């Protein structure tokens, strides 16, 4: 356990260190800093209001509707059989062990809280910003995750006779918790650096890797891994959207090879 935790910490240090070094050389736009003027209680209330909206409910309904079709047909089992018989190898298993660690809530949640605490010593630092937004995303999404896991009630591959089929309250694996937890850190980075396509799209690509590891390890069906990722996507977006909509005035630096300046934005 200690070795896994050390390994996860080293991976996070490498991830954020390389990201911030690269960002210094590119056009960098700060993430919203609206939380600086809010108590944590006010921020969480705002996040929940942003998460539980009609538009987001509609997109979640579409996603889970598609997930239901895949889970309750032969599609999930077919995808599982194809991958396990044709794609899985000792090499994919090695990579999977690495990315599975990002989905371990017992590691990632404390790490996000620890990173967020950096703001008390160095306000608006990049690590602190990441920690605050990741923590808030977990707070918003985890209750919903537990609920939908119970409501879908599906099982892991070969675990029970109904496998991927939804049977409410019979089991709790219809949505992958590892996929959700592992996607939040990278989706947070993508939103922080939304104006830097190199970091943004690299972070989006990395956000799928924990979900993929669950499919590779035969621990979840495709629909279960995909829904876990999508719940993380909506959770992170709700936190950032709430701050962007409520931040009427912002100042951020513009840094580039041939241009320097300050960007001032006002919303009304």
- CA atoms of 106 and 5, how far apart (whole Å): 9
The whole-number pLDDT of residue 162 equals 66
- Single pTM value for the model: 0.79
The whole-number pLDDT of residue 193 equals 92
Average pLDDT per 10 consecutive residues for the chain, totaling 268 residues: 50 47 37 51 84 90 94 94 95 94 93 88 84 94 94 87 85 94 96 92 96 96 97 95 59 48 46
Helix (H, G, I), strand (E, B) or coil at 14: helix
| Bridge partners (DSSP) listed for residue 263 | 252
The whole-number pLDDT of residue 116 equals 87
Q: Residue 139 corresponds to which tokens in the numbers above?
A: 């707070």
The whole-number pLDDT of residue 255 equals 46
The whole-number pLDDT of residue 111 equals 94
Distances (CA, A) of 52 to 47, 57, 140, 204: 9, 7, 10, 23
């Amino acid at each position: 356990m200690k070795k896994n935790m050390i390994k996860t910490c080293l991976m996070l240090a490498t991830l954020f260190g390389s990201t911030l070094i690269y960002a210094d050389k590119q056009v960098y736009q700060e993430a919203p800093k609206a939380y600086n003027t809010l108590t944590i209680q006010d921020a969480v209330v705002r996040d929940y209001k942003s998460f539980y909206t009609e538009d987001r409910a509609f997109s979640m309904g579409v996603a889970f509707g598609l997930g239901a079709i895949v889970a309750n047909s032969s599609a999930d089992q077919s995808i599982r059989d194809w991958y396990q018989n044709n794609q899985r190898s000792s090499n994919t298993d090695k990579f999977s062990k690495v990315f599975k660690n990002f989905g371990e809530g017992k590691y990632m949640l404390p790490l996000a809280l620890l990173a967020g605490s950096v703001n008390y010593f160095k306000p608006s630092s990049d690590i602190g910003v990441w920690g605050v937004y990741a923590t808030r995303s977990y707070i918003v999404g985890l209750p919903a995750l537990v609920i939908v896991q119970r409501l879908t009630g599906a099982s892991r591959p070969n675990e029970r006779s109904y496998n991927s089929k939804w049977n409410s309250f019979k089991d709790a694996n219809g949505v992958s918790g590892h996929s959700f937890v592992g996607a939040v850190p990278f989706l947070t980075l993508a939103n922080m650096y939304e104006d830097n396509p190199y970091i943004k799209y690299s972070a989006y690509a990395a956000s799928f890797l924990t979900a993929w590891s669950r499919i590779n390890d035969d621990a979840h069906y495709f629909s279960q891994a995909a829904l876990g990722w999508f719940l993380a996507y909506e959770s992170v977006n709700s936190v950032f959207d709430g701050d962007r909509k409520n931040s009427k005035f912002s100042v951020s630096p513009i840094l580039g090879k041939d241009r320097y300046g300050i960007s001032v934005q006002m919303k009304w």
